[in-house]
């Protein structure tokens, strides 16, 4: 399928900057699409590549026609002048940059513009980035470099200073929830007529996903696939209501530690979710009793509000802070490849 700008939700500012650049024929030689993960940066890079090479007639410079020979090649991921370089393992490697430089020694094969997408440049190590600098400054004629990077990942200043930066932003939670709902139900028509879908439990679930994903469509889809939200509820319902001295406490902790360890690579994501719940607990302590229900407060795990409000009332701020420390420590242990079950056991006992 051809990637187009119409597939990107919001991001009006980025679209407008690019529309003017393409329409006015004033493209920079290197752009960095910068913003949070999962909001459309890579999609935009692919869509721009297709638009720049489209030979069809079209009223909107950013939208490729979808019918011309170039568009058909993009649609089948088979365009000779489109290169996409993604991290291999932890990040883009110096060897990948060397191969790119070799490929760029030859002129583009077709008449249009050669486009190179370098994804997730925040994962690039210094050596690989240094090897790219000269190409970033002066790419060969008819070649344009499109970099994408997550703000939070820390992009090297040497890369930042050599690109024109196009900002991407988190999606508004409502917009993201509507998108997820549309995907889940395929009820576009009904949604636009704004009937009573907001009370639909499916929409409520989408709203929770959207809030927990903090405005990232990619993250929301990932969370949905992992099915971590129901487990988060079960674990918290169990642990927050468990007395440390209760005779059943060790068995309960061991049970959940075992269950959570089975998440394997997804365990750090799950602990991130639990951490967001403890942030909410701390936040709830600062809100007055009627505030938590206010839909404009920044609580993330809204679907757990009754559970979290009750738990917040029985814990001191110092306890909550040490819980968050325990969670950070557990994440550190996972990064050092400690045994997952043991990490969870220690963590869950500490959280009681
Ligand atoms: Zn076309």
Question: Residue 241: which CATH number?
Answer: 1.20.272.10
Reading the block at residue 347, the tokens are 């963590």
Burial of 260 (0-12, 13-18, 19+ CB in 10 A): buried
Report angle CA 235, 227, 312 to the nearest 5 degrees.
35
Confidence of residue 34 (pLDDT cuts 50, 70, 90): very high
CA 5 / ligand 1 centre spacing (Å): 13
- pLDDT of 12 above 90: yes
Classify residue 177: in a domain, yes or no. no
- pLDDT of 296 above 90: no
CA 77 / ligand 1 centre spacing (Å): 14
- pLDDT of 183 above 90: no
Reading the block at residue 340, the tokens are 């997952």
CA 49 / ligand 1 centre spacing (Å): 11
CA 116 / ligand 1 centre spacing (Å): 18
Number of domains in the chain: 2
166: alpha, beta or left, given left = phi > 0 and alpha = psi -120 to 50? beta
- Mean pLDDT of the residues in the chain: 88
Looking at per-residue pLDDT, the higher value among 286 and 196 belongs to 286
CA 102 / ligand 1 centre spacing (Å): 28
Q: Which of 167, 188, 212 is at the close of a domain? A: 167
CA 64 / ligand 1 centre spacing (Å): 5
CA 93 / ligand 1 centre spacing (Å): 33
CA 62 / ligand 1 centre spacing (Å): 11
Average pLDDT over residues 215-242: 89
User: Is the same domain home to 345 and 233?
Assistant: yes
| CA-based R_g, the chain, Å | 24
- pLDDT of 294 above 70: no
Distance CA 283, CA 316 (A): 12
The residue range of the domain holding 153 is 5-167
User: Is the same domain home to 152 and 24?
Assistant: yes
CA 2 / ligand 1 centre spacing (Å): 10
User: Is the same domain home to 140 and 55?
Assistant: yes
CA 70 / ligand 1 centre spacing (Å): 6
User: Is the same domain home to 22 and 160?
Assistant: yes
């Amino acid at each position: 399928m051809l990637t187009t700008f119409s597939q990107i939700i919001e991001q009006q500012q980025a679209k407008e900057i690019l529309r003017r650049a393409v329409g006015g024929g004033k493209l920079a030689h290197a752009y960095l699409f910068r913003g949070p993960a999962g909001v459309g940066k890579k999609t935009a890079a692919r869509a721009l590549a297709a638009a720049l090479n489209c030979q069809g007639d079209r009223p909107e410079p950013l939208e490729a026609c979808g019918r011309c020979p170039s568009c058909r090649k993009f649609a089948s991921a088979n365009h000779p002048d489109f290169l996409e370089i993604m991290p291999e393992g932890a990040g883009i490697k110096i060897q990948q940059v060397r191969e790119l430089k070799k490929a760029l020694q030859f002129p583009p094969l077709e008449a249009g513009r050669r486009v190179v997408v370098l994804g997730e440049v925040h994962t690039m190590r210094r050596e690989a980035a240094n090897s790219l600098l000269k190409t970033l400054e002066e790419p060969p004629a008819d070649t344009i470099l499109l970099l994408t990077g997550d703000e939070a990942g820390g992009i090297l200043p040497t890369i930042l200073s050599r690109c024109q930066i196009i900002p991407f932003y988190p999606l508004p939670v409502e917009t993201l929830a509507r998108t997820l709902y549309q995907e889940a139900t395929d009820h576009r028509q009904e949604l636009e007529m704004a009937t009573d879908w907001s009370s639909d439990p499916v929409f409520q679930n989408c709203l929770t996903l959207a809030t927990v994903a903090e405005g990232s469509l990619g993250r929301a889809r990932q969370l949905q696939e992992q099915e971590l939200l129901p487990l988060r509820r079960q674990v918290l319902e169990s642990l927050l209501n468990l007395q440390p001295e209760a005779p059943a406490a060790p068995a309960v902790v061991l049970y959940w530690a075992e269950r959570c360890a089975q998440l394997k690579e997804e365990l750090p994501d799950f602990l991130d979710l639990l951490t967001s719940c403890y942030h909410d607990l701390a936040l709830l302590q600062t809100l007055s009793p009627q505030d938590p229900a206010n839909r404009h407060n920044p609580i993330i795990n809204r679907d757990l509000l009754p559970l979290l409000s009750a738990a917040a009332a029985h814990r001191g701020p110092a306890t909550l802070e040490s819980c968050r420390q325990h969670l950070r420590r557990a994440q550190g242990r996972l990064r050092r490849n400690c045994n997952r079950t043991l990490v969870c056991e220690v963590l869950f006992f500490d959280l009681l």
